Structure 1
Amino acid sequence: MEYPKFIKLFLWMLSEVAVIAADIPEVIGTAFALNILFHIPLWIGVLITGSSTLLLLGLQRYGERKLELVISILVFVMAACFFGEMSYVKPPAGEVVKGLFVPKLSGNGATADAIALLGALVMPHNLFLHSALVLSRKTKQSTKEINEACKYFLWESGFALCVALLINIAVISVSGTVCASNNLSPTNAYQCKDLSLNSAPFLLKNILGKSSSIVYAIALLASGQSSTITGTYAGQYIMEGFLDIKLKKWQQNLLTRSIAITPSLIVAIIGGPAGAGRLIIIASIILSFELPFALVPLLKFSSSNSKMGSHKNSLPIIVICWILGSMVIGINVYFLSTSFVAWLIHSGLPKYANVLISMIGFPFMAIYVIAIMYLTLRKESDTAAFDKSVELQKEIEKGVRRCDDA
């Protein structure tokens, strides 16, 4: 193993927290969709979501491709619903393109929402899932075949990310166009100031008609189910990889599903829709802060000559990835420090309380930065055995080529 046991357990716990944080918006989103469509209480919707995910994950016994097909169908149903709403609303194309390349934040909670959006889009646990799915491909152990598989997987992942980008553009464009309308009633204008999964369908219903809220709920249902499947799937690989635990598929599914939906169920029962909406923002911010702990090891390992051999990242890819990774880390550190200081200034607490909170908060931020620096600057462990296996593979390939020539 690359890291000491303590570091390995620390990274595993962070990864499990990431799975839970990623699952909260997905589970609650599906529960909201069931509430809109069938008027089912939120907490019952959470239980139904967990059960349905376990049933869909039963398709694993028929092979990963069948499960991927179901996820693809759910994603395209979601895309069709949001694109349908987008074609009805007709957002100004110029403003949409401008918003893609010229970001603008306004309002007190805009920075927190942007950080939450970053965590929701680039989920740490999915970095493990996408890496692990390569192993499900039947690839011959030769440099040519592996490079070919990597190329096709790159195209597959790129297509999936493009679809996800287009869906997010459609969601934001529809909500932005509706809220920018001059014909909003005072009630709808107030909802736009604090738009959430709970208020969005009622806003669309009032502006675009009853069918729009139903279309929104169907898209939300498809999105939640596809995401909870991938989240549970990622949890299996995380547990296997970090702890080397080999359980039966149904045991892994049940364990990871139970761990993931517990916070959503508690908040849905105690806090109701309002509490669930706030929990989604908090969970997404947690995801953004956890992203470096999955991203940094992945970049180091995939760029390592001793671990990847001829399959390591090229120099341009290494430079681009580290620049993007540094930007993510910098944004998180900036937001964490400025928001904590601003909260201390405007909290209204007694001075002694602010001092006590500062004694906890600032060391926590220092530990966060030091942990990232440790993962980034740590020297690689001895991988001589792996190096020998790579060299042996090269010798085997040379021997095969000589036999072919003969």
Structure 2
Amino acid sequence: MTGISNGDQVSGEAETMKTLEREASSSKGKSTSRAPSASYDLEANGAQKPEHDDKPEHQPENQKPGWRRMISHIGPGFLVCMAFIDPGSVETLFQTASQNQYQLLWVILLGFILVFIVQSLAANLGVVTGMHLAEHYRLEYPKYLNYCFWILAEAAVIGADISEVIGTAFALDILLHIPVWVGILLTGLTPFLLVGLQKYGFRKVEMALAMVVFVIAACFVGELPYVKPKASEVFKGFIPGFNNRDAVANGIAFLGALIMPHNLFIHSALVLTRRPPQSVKGINDACRYFAIESAPPMALALFINIVAIVVAGSICFASNISPGTAAACKNLTLYNGAILLKDVLGKWSRLVYGISLLASAQGSALTVGCSGQYVMQGFLQKKTKKWIITVVTRGLAILPSLIAALVGGPSACARLIIISSMILSFELPFTILPLLRFTSSRKKMGPHKNHIAVIIAAWILGLCAVGINVYYLSVGFVEWLIHNNLPKAASVIIGIIVFPIMIVYLVTSVYVIFKKVDVATYKPPPPLPLPTNKDSMGETIEEEEEIPYREDLVEMAESE
């Protein structure tokens, strides 16, 4: 009997060990994705390993030094900031400098302050709620309005891609002397290259592209001793004001090129590839880390923009300007921008400028492609392969670019970039205002909702940007309607079509401002302390630095 009992005991212990091993194995394979309600998966984070592990004791994630936790949050800000030095931004800088010299430096500063605030709010929205911005649209707005906002978001993605298409075509012409219209057609192949590179870890390629782009920033800085700008004139540019209607148009175009709607969608989604500890302090820390992570690249982008406009403005308004440079400054665009680097690089200016322009366009194209996928998934709850979305978006961007190149050549293409930037600016009310509403709501954000100072500053800056758009849209269009050379009948027909659209634009903006937030997405974290993973000997097991908690979004970013 004793032998039988001992055998049963050994058999039972063996069975227990097998059960523990199966549980440990299954816990490793479990998804750590976070539900939209921001619930916390105790099992996935508290599973214990039955087998012995000789690892030395480590601190759990929530007890690691701040600098180590900060490192795990680096990434989204650098990707998003590629848009601030993309071809669309550079084109509007050149146009602004050649026509208004330093007059609109205050718009650049105001724009970067606003963009830092709204990009940080977009990141906070994702961290706190576990849902990105497009998903909140689907929850909050009626179905028909959600479809309208989706169309506007897709139009913003296409508008941003137009500048990448034209920038790439200009770079190919500068480097290889390929005609612009042929280069535009060739950009239809680049989405496949970008998707293929991303499959094998595009972060490294992306950082290499960013480093090449910063070469041109160093060139602009090196140009400063040659152009010798007057400090007093430069500082006057930071005093708000518009001297003429062209300045208003350039200011609006720059805001559209800087505060891109698709950037807010992608930033709120990219932060969901990291998982902060599910506590009030853990979420606050994550929001702070993402803000800190975005600050250096944004500050560098601001510096690049200011230096570029100072250099271009100084050259184009110099008293001893050469005839060739004066002719270029009359229509300074991406296509002939290499002339600004001639003093520093000499005959190498076109080569370096062309390489930097190509890198800028391709790095920004990656951001546009990813944002198109998040927009589709968020608004419509549909997952589509990345290459399909990227090819369709690129095709719709190629069509107007090709028409402009065939009809008007490089100058028409450059003008199309400005027009697309202005369109992006007109869409700002339908992106910034909902974001401010969501992040200021206790239903959405709980105790992490915007501080009163942030609310006041963000709404003032947001309404200023919207007000400038409305002013230019109404006053500018009325003046054009009165003074254009079209037949009176054509002017009347255009007015009948456009004025109702303007009324809808204003009414929808007011609706978005005052629309009550209905759906609560914040769920308080569990009151218990976070569990610590330990091995069978009771030693703490080090947790991963970056653990995705929206695996559906991670898969979208990595899939073809």
**TM-score by structure 1 length?**
0.88
What is the match of residue 85 of structure 1? 223
Which residue type is aligned with residue 217 of structure 1? G
* Displacement of 1:128: 0.9
What is the match of residue 261 of structure 1? 398
Residue by residue, what CA displacement relative to the aligned partner does 1:169-227 show, whole Å, maximum 9, x if unpaired? 12211111111212224453243233222233357659984333333323322222222
- From the superposition, tell whether residues 96 and 215 of structure 1 become closer, same or farther in structure 2 (CA, over 3 Å): farther
Which residue type is aligned with residue 379 of structure 1? K
- From the superposition, tell whether residues 307 and 67 of structure 1 become closer, same or farther in structure 2 (CA, over 3 Å): farther
Cα separation, 1, equivalents of 2:320 and 2:292: 44
What is the match of residue 52 of structure 1? 190
What is the match of residue 37 of structure 1? 175
Cα separation, 1, equivalents of 2:210 and 2:321: 36
What is the match of residue 334 of structure 1? 471
Say yes or no: does 1:174 pair with 2:295: no
Structure index of larger Rg? 2
- From the superposition, tell whether residues 66 and 239 of structure 1 become closer, same or farther in structure 2 (CA, over 3 Å): farther
Selected match of 2:529 from 396, 400, 406: 400
Which ranges of structure 2 fall in alignment gaps of 5 or more residues?
A: 1-138, 533-560
Task: Out of 23-32 and 61-70, give the one that drifted further.
Answer: 61-70
Cα separation, 1, equivalents of 2:514 and 2:279: 32
* Displacement of 1:320: 0.6
- From the superposition, tell whether residues 57 and 155 of structure 1 become closer, same or farther in structure 2 (CA, over 3 Å): farther
Do the aligned partners of 1:60 and 1:66 also contact (CA within 8 Å) in 2? no
Residue by residue, what CA displacement relative to the aligned partner does 1:120-167 show, whole Å, maximum 9, x if unpaired? 111111111111111122333333222222111101222222121111
Which residue type is aligned with residue 528 of structure 2? G
What is the match of residue 12 of structure 2? none
Which residue type is aligned with residue 270 of structure 2? L
* Displacement of 1:66: 4.0
Task: Out of 170-179 and 78-87, give the one that drifted further.
Answer: 78-87
Say yes or no: does 1:27 pair with 2:156: no
Say yes or no: does 1:247 pair with 2:384: yes
Cα separation, 1, equivalents of 2:216 and 2:437: 35
Structure 1 residue matching 2:276: 3-state secondary structure: coil
Cα separation, 1, equivalents of 2:358 and 2:226: 21
* Displacement of 1:112: 1.2
What is the match of residue 211 of structure 2? 73
What is the match of residue 416 of structure 2? 279
Cα separation, 2, equivalents of 1:215 and 1:88: 18
Cα separation, 1, equivalents of 2:531 and 2:307: 55
Which ranges of structure 1 fall in alignment gaps of 5 or more residues?
A: none
Residue by residue, what CA displacement relative to the aligned partner does 1:315-369 show, whole Å, maximum 9, x if unpaired? 1111111101100111001001111111122113333333222222222211110
Cα separation, 1, equivalents of 2:213 and 2:268: 20
Structure 1 residue matching 2:334: 3-state secondary structure: coil
Structure 1 residue matching 2:428: 3-state secondary structure: helix
Cα separation, 2, equivalents of 1:315 and 1:59: 44
Structure 2 residue matching 1:280: 3-state secondary structure: helix
* Displacement of 1:297: 1.0
Which residue type is aligned with residue 223 of structure 2? E
Say yes or no: does 1:4 pair with 2:133: no
Do the aligned partners of 2:369 and 2:386 also contact (CA within 8 Å) in 1? no
Cα separation, 2, equivalents of 1:66 and 1:135: 20
Say yes or no: does 1:184 pair with 2:321: yes
Cα separation, 2, equivalents of 1:143 and 1:209: 56
Do the aligned partners of 1:81 and 1:218 also contact (CA within 8 Å) in 2? no
Structure 2 residue matching 1:399: 3-state secondary structure: coil
Query: Which structure has the highest helix share of the two?
Result: 1
What is the match of residue 331 of structure 2? 194
Task: Out of 75-84 and 243-252, give the one that drifted further.
Answer: 75-84
Residue by residue, what CA displacement relative to the aligned partner does 1:233-285 show, whole Å, maximum 9, x if unpaired? 21111111111111233334333333443332343344321221111111111
Say yes or no: does 1:95 pair with 2:224: no
Give the alignment of 1:185-224 within 5 angstroms.
Answer: 185-202=322-339, 205=342, 209-224=346-361
Cα separation, 1, equivalents of 2:299 and 2:460: 21
* Displacement of 1:286: 0.4
Selected match of 2:507 from 370, 373, 396: 370
Cα separation, 2, equivalents of 1:60 and 1:229: 9
